[in-house]
Amino acid sequence: MQNQQDQFELNFNLSYSLDQNKEFYQLPNQIPCDFQGQRTNLNIDSKVKQLPQDVQDSTYQSAIALSQYLKIWDVNHQNNDYFYPFQLPPSSFVGNCQIFPHRPDLLQNEYHQVQDLSNAQISQIFQSGTFEIQSMQFQIPYVWQISSIIVKGRQNITKSYFQDIGRAYHIYKFEKNSIYNVNDSKGRECTIRCSIYNIFSKLTLYISLLIGFRETYIDVNENQLKNQIEARRQIELRQSDFYKRRIYEYLHFLNSEISRRQAQEKMTQLIKLQQEFMDHQQGLKLSIQNQFDYLIEQFGHNQKFDDHEEQKEYLENINEQIKLLDKDYIKEYGIQVNIEQDVNEQINNAISLAQFKFWQSKLGDDMALISNINDLNECKRAQKYYQQQQDNELQQSLDEFDKKLIKDHPIRSQSYHFVAEQRSEHRKQMKAVLKEKYRILLIEDLKKQNIKEVELYLNYLQQKAQLKKELKLLIEQAEEKSKRINIRIEVTRQCFPPYNIIRIGELFKLERKRTYIVYSSFPLWKFYLMIVRYFAWTANVTFWLFANGISGPLGIRALVQCSVFYPDVQINERTGVVSHSHYSVTPVVVHMANVCKGMSRSRRDFENSPDTGFFGKNCARICNYVEVYFFRFLIVGIIGVLIIIPILIIANFVISLVLALTAWAWIPIVLILSYVFQLLIYDFDCSDREQWSIFSTPAWFPIFINTFDFIVRGILNLIMNLLVCFIILPLGSIFMIIFGHLRYIIRSLYDCLMIIFVKCLGRVPATENWLAWKVSGPGISRKYYFTIKNEEALILVAGKLEKCILQEYQKKIEEEIMAPQKQVQSVMNNFFSVFGASYNFHDKGCDKLKQSLNQQISQRLQVLPQISNNIRFNESELIVIRMLIKQFIKNQIKLKDMKNYIWKHFQVQKGDYNELTSELLKQCFGHQILSPLEDIDLRFSLQTDENYNISKKISKALEGQVNLNQPTNFIVKSNSVSKKQVITKQFLEFSTIIQEVWNCQSIYQSWSTLADKSKRFYINYCLIANQEA
């Protein structure tokens, strides 16, 4: 095949096999390397000689043995431009292969002669703005759209009228929601009620910031109360005869770890049986599926095959798979396969029956246990089945309700508020009806199976109302008893000596501090807190000032006393004996005495020392006099000790005494400053709330945040909502009503006048223009869909098959590349694991080879033909193309030996050539390719974009387009009504039921049937009586 610009050759008769042609897998040579994967020779002898003599022989032998595996590819991985040419499988495509799509020849628009419009067509134009022309070849007519400039159509006018009035109704609903909203409880909605709520709540917070409101919260654990109610119910049920006891007796344990461990071991043993059944489960599933397919083909219910050889090949493959199974599970468990019943339903039921028989064969001596587990399993299956049925029917009901709502309320359905309210109400009603319906079906189903546990479910239904009533009463009682203080502030006051001795158990302590706790459990608690802080802070300041001025390091006692004193005391915690603490204060007299002693010692030591210093003793004596009499005596003693320290002591005593005696006066100023800081910056009193609520004041910048919320979320929000609700929205609603009526009247009058004009001058057109164009009918889709020749379809399929071959080749050659590295890694890890170590080996040449391979595969894939147009075939073409492609696939599989991997690649049952053909067509042309063009054409229609307005027409005019009104969007309606979802009882493993039963067993009740509906068939058999949750 040739093109004027490009030439390409096709050869589909190439024959080769990826498994047999070894030249495809030629790789570089392997060279030795060191243990780090480097291209160097191992110098084993020199390195072994450096080891101790006793390990040289063994190390040498190990190194020689391991070096045989140390091989890497002879690739220069340091060269960035390295390229290795792989021998890829030969390609059927040489050159640039192009596909040329064209318009479909069939389903062309029929030519209609120009003639006068009939009365029926004029009526159609007046009603919908369209008219029909009957096709001469098909049953469906051609539908022509008249430009809205000529005639809008009664239906379109009415629809626009409903939309306009619906917008007015939506404004009304929005206005209603702007006044009040159910979510206003937290003051976060933009409504009038929310604004008023914020104004009063923020005013309240001002008072709370200043003096403190009563702040408490309720700490009620609802789940704990449910468990408490369930515990009493379980005790009653355990004594009843509503259930089979064997599984509970088997897993029963007492209030001891040993008993619980023994019961858990029993449970583990039962679960192990489920693991043994896994092979039977998978084998039975495959056997039933294969048997079902075999029967379908045998009785001719599924015409998949076109010739006897193909059917024979498919059936031989099914029999081959059945023979591969270890057992004939269908015969072993006595399963009958019925082609009239859904295969998935048969598989689930058969596996459930086989599971029961398997466990019966393993635990034949304890039939009561197996029967008990099976009954609970059937309860779980039925519960899930009817729950799925309920959910499915509820969803279908909602979908139908949505359609009915739009039909019955064309105006009000324009408001999503109305739709959401009606849908929510309908959902609530339907859910109640369906719950009762499927609850009855569930009970009848379980009764038919003679399952005793249905009595447990009935008991729950009888007591459900009473249990909820009891729960509500317990919550009310708990709320009264469980009120907690939201804020707790501790204020500490320093005690004055002598301290009281407190005995706590066997220990003695001194009462140095007293703590006062202020709670937010009463109004004006902040005012009370300030009073407590005033007395506590005054006492603390007075204590520390007096202690500092009298007994501190610069206290008055240090000036008048002549010996070291101990101002503080301590207590022996065991004996209670009070004694002086280790902290001491040295007076001025003692300091001066120490200075004099230092002077005398310095002079004596100097005169007694030998004359061997840096200077001679006569010269050094002058330096010693300076140190002793000038520095020690004058500077330190006279100035420092006798002048400066007494001045500091007197100043400290006077300041401390004045501050202590006037603390009652200046402490309020400190409190006021602290209070102002909390209002403006950070409220540290309220920062540790247990729970935050709408009445809680903010911690950071409380007065500013509260003022902002009061003004913006309160006053401004109220003004804005009042303006919107009572001025803007009513005016908008009135405008839309007037606009809708005026537009309806004007358009109706315009249509009435124009329909007279159309009746007089209009005619059936033969060609399309900007006044009238086709929107649906036979052949209308040909402008939007394309077709290709049969040979070109085969070329595309050949390209897809070649891509499959390349991917399989890439997979195999990468395994060959990585094989040496994996071998080294495996051998070395096994060797080093003896010493508890690990080893990592990486050949960088593998990365280079894979890089070269990916590059060549990518280049080959770019040569393969592709097409991106909307390709479709008519029915006759599709039949011929499917036949040609299937025969082409068979030939290519034989020529290129693809039978071992093509089925897995396309995920198709081996031997099913029809399904393989369909899958290839889908991957080449899309999933809708199997629908004939005639079928699509009958469901094809053009539609105008909802946002297509005058600006779009102006844009088209600026672009130079001709038909400004003709739409370009199209839809393909659904081919048929969607299939009803098939819901069947699913298979459940016995191990799952055993695990759920075990999870329900506990000494203390930890679950409730009010909270978990999945546990309404179970009993807590290990529960201790007379317990509180």
Q: What is the full DSSP assignment across 938-989?
A: HTEEEE--TT--HHHHHHHHHHT-S-SS---EEEE--SSPPPPPP--PPP--
Residue carrying structure tokens 């059945």:
322
Closest to 142 (Cα-Cα) out of 109, 99, 165: 109
- Is the distance from CB of 247 to CB of 997 less than 8 angstroms? yes
- Pick from 967, 999, 1027: which is nearest to 145 by CA? 967
Average pLDDT of the segment spanning 553-567: 85
Q: Identify the DSSP state of 871.
A: B
User: pLDDT tier at 429 (50, 70, 90 boundaries)?
Assistant: very high
CB distance 65 to 829 below 8 Å? no
The tally of CA atoms less than 13 A away on the side-chain side of residue 476 is 6
Round to whole Å and give the CA distance between 132 and 778: 12
pLDDT of residue 748: 92
Sorted by sequence, the CB contacts under 8 Å of residue 184 that are 6+ apart come out as 191, 193, 194, 197
- Of 416, 424, 349, residue with least CA distance to 394: 424
Name the band, by pLDDT with cuts 50, 70 and 90, for residue 428.
Answer: very high
Task: Give 324's pLDDT tier (boundaries 50, 70, 90).
Answer: very low
Calpha distance 888→881 (Å, rounded): 10
> Is it the case that residue 491 has pLDDT exceeding 50?
yes
The predicted structure's pLDDT at residue 146: 86
Q: How confident is the model at residue 302 (pLDDT cuts 50, 70, 90)?
A: very low
Cα 349 to Cα 377: distance, rounded to the nearest angstrom: 12
Instruction: Return d(Cα 108, Cα 691) in angstroms, integer.
Output: 75
The model's confidence at residue 700, banded by pLDDT at 50, 70 and 90, is: confident
What are 780-813's pLDDT values in tens digits? 655 556 677 778 788 888 888 888 888 888 888 8
| Amino acid in the structure at residue 309 | E
Q: How many CA atoms lie within 13 A of 44 on its CB side?
A: 17
DSSP states along 875-932: HHHHHHHHHHHHHHHHHHHHHTT-TTTHHHHTT--TT-HHHHHHHHHHHHH-GGGGS-
Span 344-372, mean pLDDT? 87
Element (DSSP H or E) covering residue 826:
helix 790-832
Residues 6+ apart with CB under 8 A from 969: 942, 943, 944, 945
* 3 state SS of 217: strand
pLDDT at 733 exceeding the cut of 80: yes
Q: Which of 714, 704, 712, 696 is CA-nearest to residue 679? A: 704
Give residue 821's pLDDT band: very low, low, confident or very high (50, 70, 90). Answer: confident
Structure-model confidence comparison of residues 395 and 864, the more confident one: 395
Percent of the chain predicted with pLDDT > 90: 11
pLDDT at 106: 47
Terminal Cα distance for the chain, rounded: 85
d(CA 704, CA 709): 9
Q: With cut-offs at 50, 70 and 90, classify the pLDDT of residue 926.
A: confident
Say whether 776 sits in a helix, a strand or coil: strand
Q: Name the strand (E) or helix (H) holding 774.
A: strand 772-776
- pLDDT score recorded for residue 301: 39
pLDDT of residue 478 exceeding 90, the answer is no
> Exposure string (b/e) for 333-354, b if CB count within 10 Å is 16 or more?
bebebebeeebeebbbbbbbbb
Whether the per-residue pLDDT at 848 is higher than 90: the answer is no
Contact call for residues 920 and 804 (beta carbons, < 8 A): no
pLDDT at 742 over 90: yes
3-state SS, 153-207, equals: CHHHHHHHHHHHHHHHHHHHHHHHHHHCCCCHHHCCCCCHHHHHHHHHHHHHHHH
* Residue whose entry in the numeric block shows the structure tokens 């043995």: 65
DSSP secondary-structure letter at 549? Answer: I
Task: Give the count of alpha carbons within 13 A of 808, CB side only.
Answer: 21
Residue 432 — pLDDT band, cuts 50, 70, 90?
A: very high
Least confident among 400-414, 569-583, 634-648, 677-691: 677-691
Task: Tell me the two tokens of residue 885.
Answer: 């492609």
pLDDT over 60 (residue 311): no
Instruction: Choose between 305 and 235: higher pLDDT.
Output: 235
Residue 44 has pLDDT above 70, yes or no: no
The C-alpha atoms of residue 622 and residue 962 are separated, in whole angstroms, by: 120
Contact call for residues 571 and 577 (beta carbons, < 8 A): yes
At residue 836, the pLDDT reads 65
Confidence class for position 391, pLDDT limits 50, 70, 90: very high
Of 408, 518, 444, 349, the C-alpha closest to 162 is 408
Q: Supply the pLDDT for residue 61.
A: 72
Neighbours of 421 (CB within 10 A): 13
Question: Are β-strands 569-571 and 93-95 bridged in parallel, bridged antiparallel, or unpaired?
Answer: unpaired
Parallel, antiparallel or unpaired: strands 969-972 and 507-510 = unpaired
Position 398 confidence tier, pLDDT thresholds 50, 70, 90: very high
What phi-psi label fits residue 406: left (phi over 0), alpha (psi between -120 and 50 degrees) or beta?
alpha
Task: Check if the beta carbon of residue 446 is closer than 8 Å to that of residue 454.
Answer: yes
Least confident of 37-51, 196-210, 399-413, 545-559: 37-51
Indicate whether 107 pLDDT > 50: no
pLDDT band, very low/low/confident/very high, at 3 (cuts 50, 70, 90) = very low
What band does 952 get if pLDDT is binned at 50, 70 and 90? low
Weakest-pLDDT range from 338-347, 377-386, 391-400? 338-347
Residue type, 780: I
* CA-closest candidate to residue 83, choices 939, 855, 1023: 855
Measure the CA–CA gap between 275 and 362, rounded to whole angstroms.
13
* HEC-encoded secondary structure of 400-424: HHHHHHHHHCCCHHHCHHHHHHHHH
Comparing C-alpha atoms, which of 13, 1, 2 is closest to residue 888? 13
Torsion-angle region of 314 (φ positive above 0: left; ψ -120 to 50: alpha; else: beta): alpha
Residue 65 pLDDT > 50, yes or no?
yes
Mapped onto helix, strand or coil, the DSSP state of residue 628 is: helix
Task: Give, for 578, the enclosing helix (H) or strand (E).
Answer: strand 578-580
Task: Name the residue among 131, 137, 135, 126 with its Cα closest to residue 116.
Answer: 131
Which of 917, 933, 918 lies closest to 872, judged by CA?
933
Residue 111: predicted pLDDT: 65
Please state, as a whole number, how many other Cβ atoms lie within 10 Å of the Cβ of residue 625: 12
Percent of the chain, pLDDT > 70? 80
* ∠ CA 911-916-922, rounded to 5°: 170
Whole-number pLDDT of residue 319: 58
- Measured distance CA(550)–CA(652) in Å, rounded: 9
For the cut 60, the answer to whether the pLDDT of residue 718 exceeds it is yes
Confidence label for 443 from pLDDT (cuts 50, 70 and 90): very high
User: Is 896 a residue whose pLDDT tops 60?
Assistant: yes
- Please report the pLDDT score of residue 981 as a whole number: 61
Decide if pLDDT at 182 tops 60.
Answer: no
Grouping H, G, I as helix, E, B as strand and the rest as coil, residue 510 is strand
Compute the residue count for the chain.
Answer: 1029
- The per-residue pLDDT of the chain, averaged, comes to 79
Is residue 690 predicted with pLDDT exceeding 70? no
Higher pLDDT, 154 or 189: 154
Q: In Å, how far are 133, 884, 894 from 15, measured between CA atoms?
A: 56, 19, 8
At residue 177 the predicted structure's pLDDT band, cuts being 50, 70 and 90, is confident
Beta strand segments in 461-577, E? 483-485, 488-494, 501-504, 507-510, 513-519, 569-571
Average pLDDT for 558-562? 84
Give the per-residue pLDDT at 6: 47
The HSE-up count of residue 262 (CA atoms within 13 Å, CB side) is 10
Q: What's the pLDDT tens digit per position in 959-1006?
A: 666 555 555 554 444 444 444 567 888 888 999 999 999 999 988 888
pTM of the model: 0.64
Q: Which residues of 721-734 are buried (b: 16+ CB within 10 A; e: fewer)?
A: beebbeeebeebbe
DSSP 83: -
Q: What is the pLDDT of residue 1029?
A: 40
Q: What is the DSSP string of 221-276?
A: -HHHHHHHHHHHHHHHHHTSSSS--HHHHHT---SSHHHHHHHHHHHHHHHHHHHH
User: How confident is the model over 627-644, as a mean pLDDT?
Assistant: 85
* Predicted pLDDT at 877: 76
> Per-residue pLDDT tens for 254-284?
888 899 999 999 888 888 888 888 878 877 7
